[in-house]
Each structure stands twice: as C-alpha cells, then as structure tokens.
Amino acid sequence: MSVCHQQSGGLICTGLGDLEELVTKGCSKAMGSQIAEMGIVRVDNNFRWSRCPLCHSDSIRKLGCADYGGRLIFSSQEIELSSQPEVWACHQCSSGFVQNIIPKETAASIYKRACSAERWPNVSFQREKTSEVVRIMSELFAGKGRVLDVGCNTGELLDYAAQFGCETSGVEYSDDSREVMRHKGHMPYQTLMEVPGQFEIITAFDLIEHLYDVPTFLNHCHSRLVAGGKLIVLTGDIQSASAKAAGAHWWYAQYPEHIVFPSRLFFENLQTFKLDGWFPTYAAAAYDFPFYRIVLSHVKRVSLLRRYNGLPSWSPDHALIVLTKVNG
C-alpha cells in the first residue's frame, strides 16, 4: 500500500517501486543538471504525509519543528530547503516521521549521483559498530549462506560477512559506491527489484529511516528471503529515553535524509515477520560515551541553557532488530 496525495500540482507516490523506477530509468534532465552543477542546491521540500507512513493511521500529531541548523547535507550534496521540516508522531503505532520532506523524485536523483563514501568513511564494520552488534552479526554469519545488504554504501558489512564464507551481494543507489563494491568482490545492484534469487540473510543497517514506504520494502525483503530467513535492521529507537527527552530536537531526526522512525510496536505488529530479537545499542561504538562525559555534557548544556538533542545519550538510542520470515 502506498500513501499518495496531491502536492504542489503533482501527485507524489511513496511506493518503493516508484523510487526504484526513478533511479533505474533516470530522473528528469533538468533535475540532473541542477544537481550536477555542484554548490548549494535549493530544494522544495514540500511533501507532507496525510497519515502515518508506517501503519497508515490518521491519528497523528505534531511534536515540533526539526532543528537541522548549520550546513545542510543530503547524502553528499549541500542543499537549502524552502520549508521548515516538522517532526510528527503516530498514536496508533508510536512511530515518528517528518513532514515537509524532500519529494521522492528529487531524493532519488540526489542519491544516485552522490558519492556517499565521501561523507561516510569506509571504516571496517568491526571498528565502527558496537561490540554487541558485531557479536550478534558474527553468530548469524557463521552459518554462511547468501547475504544481501540493502543500502550497503561501499560494502563494509559485506566485507565482514565474506570473512565467514558468505556469498555477498549489495544494493546501493550511488554509482561510485557500487564500483567500490564490485572491486571488493561483492555483487552490486542498483535496486532491490533487480536482485535475483533468495537469501538466508538480508541486512538493512542505517537504511529504514530513509525509506518513503517501509511496508512495501518489508514485503520485497520477505519475497527475497528463504523460508525462515532473517531480516536484520539497525535504526534509531524513537522510544528510547534520550529520544523521548529530546522530542522534535532528537539528533537522529535532524538529517534531511531521515524521514521515518519505526517503533518496536510497529515491528511487533508485522504479519509476515516475527520479531525474534530487539537489542538496544548505539548507532556506532563512538556514540557509547563514558558516564563522566555524559555528566559533564549535561552540566555544560544546563549552564548554557541549551536544548537537549539526545547527545550524549543517557542509554542506547538505537536497536538491532532481528526479524524472521513467517507465512511462507
């Protein structure tokens, strides 16, 4: 099911297939030349959800305005927005999402031409992620099999899976990043729709918060998993203590690419996946601050009358989510 509505004279559809079609077939020449000019690109972020993009409930409310601040980067492109983004919440599934976001066609064009490796350094998976995340993934990869990483950048997670003898493939919109993957020996694809066969494990790390249609993405993953296969998601936890305290100012909601924040309740209510594991963690090991740093930071923030944005976090503000395919 896609959430669609009329916006600024054009119909915006939020199905994953629409985004993939734009990336596969190419976007408009005008948009492509605009992004190719480099420099700052002014973007009309005029897309608003008419209901929750995750559970489709119309019981939604505004938490407040997002606080992006400073230089604004979408993937690796510097942008300027026309409207003030807002952070909203859903009463039905307790998830969060952003209003006044960049329309899908514009986002697809930027992602395709971006060089994400310039913004996100290709640090090894073992060094970047927390020890608990590395341990859990090593246990899953120990069974070998076929692994597909969706939104894999230059393939650091796949590098780790390959060490266990896994057969590795990855989906990445960025042309440059796919070339890096190819040279590493991973099978690269531009869209999930073009990936053949089925897999024992599909991973989606730091991806799901970027998607315009999470339910359709989950359906595509379900069809590409073998019976009993696992989908592993790493994303921010909108219900974590620091996220609740920060509200609309939560740091994870201050990236223009981050538009949806599924809750644990959303994953528990899925019909085609069973939630087999919810492991509180951090976005990366570097976000796990020692206690004294947390105390000093909060003392400084209070003395300077600054708003809390969730950093440093009082406790884990991300979750490693293990979903097992059910219903065939």
Domains and CATH numbers, the chain: 4-117 (no CATH), 121-325 (3.40.50.150)
Of the chain, the percentage scoring pLDDT greater than 70 comes to 86
What is the three-class DSSP state of 140?
Answer: helix
Say how far apart CA 123 and CA 159 lie, in whole Å: 11
**Kind of pairing, strands 96-99 and 260-261?**
antiparallel
Mean pLDDT of 153-162: 96
pLDDT at residue number 218: 97
Contact yes or no for 215/1 (Cβ under 8 A): yes
pLDDT at residue number 79: 92
The band of 19, judged by pLDDT with boundaries at 50, 70 and 90, is: very low
Contact yes or no for 174/180 (Cβ under 8 A): no
**Kind of pairing, strands 86-90 and 77-81?**
unpaired
Encode pLDDT of 205-260 as tens digits.
999 999 999 999 999 999 999 999 999 999 999 999 999 999 999 999 999 999 99
Name the average pLDDT for the chain: 87
Helix-, strand-, coil-residue percentages of the chain, each rounded to 5: 35, 25, 40
pLDDT at residue number 3: 35
pLDDT at residue number 328: 58
pTM for this one? Answer: 0.85
Encode pLDDT of 101-138 as tens digits.
999 999 988 887 766 556 666 789 999 999 999 999 99
Mean pLDDT of 299-316: 90
| More confident of the two residues 205 and 176 | 205
Mean pLDDT of 86-113: 93
pLDDT at residue number 117: 56
pLDDT at residue number 7: 33
Any idea which residue has 């909601």 for tokens? Answer: 253
pLDDT at residue number 149: 98
The yes-or-no verdict on residue 11 having pLDDT over 50 is: no
Encode pLDDT of 21-72 as tens digits.
333 333 333 333 334 445 888 999 999 999 999 999 999 999 999 988 778 9
The yes-or-no verdict on residue 174 having pLDDT over 60 is: yes
pLDDT at residue number 301: 86
The band of 141, judged by pLDDT with boundaries at 50, 70 and 90, is: very high
**Kind of pairing, strands 96-99 and 86-90?**
antiparallel
Q: How many CB atoms lie within 10 A of CB 88?
A: 19
